[in-house]
Structure 1
């Protein structure tokens, strides 16, 4: 088969977000037929709407077809008081996608989060490490994982963390904006994780969609680990600001409605063992992100 021949069709939910946008862009670049549905096009918490959408997608072509679910309720703090909606989108929605993907013979890749873990680890979490979310958001995402694998055992659940991209709001854009508006910024230095460029994650998910990997849970984040403080300093450097203007502080100094994981580094072992390409180190990815989309990250 020639290199230019598509091997799969993709249906991308949450297609207007930072990951969904990158998935659509990558599919177009690689000549992969892809349909993108934003939340205005498909509310994944509407079981009947999901059935119709997946039935239409399944009937629309002969190539093997995979649904990549990048739709989520991501307002971590708001979820603490908006539990019904968080569980509808993050728990019920993925279950509906899995149920109908299985019924119509579609593959499914569901994107999840480090928040399913308690955040008190001291070594990177393996895919089979005990879960124990401390927030409503994390609990709702764990419910989604469980619903997906129960309804569609061949599906993939891919946990990621600290995602940023050119589309929408994220930590990188916030720090870049603060570099232009405040003399100093205090950022927590007691939360450890792995920044993940959404374009690199998108590439990994498309590779997974094209591959032949048994269903189950995988982890995909930028390589290495850092703290929000050091991540912020790296962003300041990229926008030409003095990183010394970023000062370390503690989580206790900035109380939030939802608890944040102190440690959320995810082990890439299962991903690597599946023969999938490791995501590049987080600092290298940040360089590439600014090289590709600097205008989107830098303050106006």
Structure 2
């Protein structure tokens, strides 16, 4: 989870100074914030741009429109960041100086009882869509996926050890009653949680479904690949991650240029990689930030410069 809720119903940007500093912005820079959200990072970026600079902000969630800044240097793109290259071509931008991605889900989504992202709201519909126009919901997955595929989703994206048993219980339950609300899923998960690990397992299950609904891993891979194509030499790619799955992808891509982390070396044993790591050691929130924003504890910041 990326942040705490503020008075305006959105969130406090995580690692704001560290991430925007890492973009190495000049007044003339062309920048892209592929996860606009509440606009906190974008506003900081805009404050560093001159009249000849420009910022493109991507977000697939309709709620983000309420946060748009009134600034001639800003263009909002209501789209998933997996279509980054297409939209930059549409706006006649063939390259960029810096790209920022603040991954994960904001507190705005977890605290919206109508979206189904949190297990706290038992009467919420099992939705979990970032883009309400898409047809795939968490309920659709639970009601229609085959047992083996359900087990894979829970294991790969939630790292749940009892994934196969839980998948079997889901399939057995839907024979008599389909999944509709959060409480329906909680009933099935209850025998597998126990008091000590209840919140952890629920969080893992909800994370797995959310990732599958929004195709987060596939979209992340596509965005990173396209970001490499778009960035100018010495351009910066700045990514904030929140769970091990996405962080592993980003780490491997920054180090080797591929998602498996396979090192490709030249004749002399030098690593062939499209990036230079700006921070060899991952950057985490300061103790001061954690006091203000304790939910950012899992955040990790990685910065790479295109060679």
TM over 0.5: no
Larger Rg: 2
With the length of structure 1 as denominator, give the TM-score of the two structures. 0.31
TM-score of the two chains, using structure 2 as the length reference: 0.30
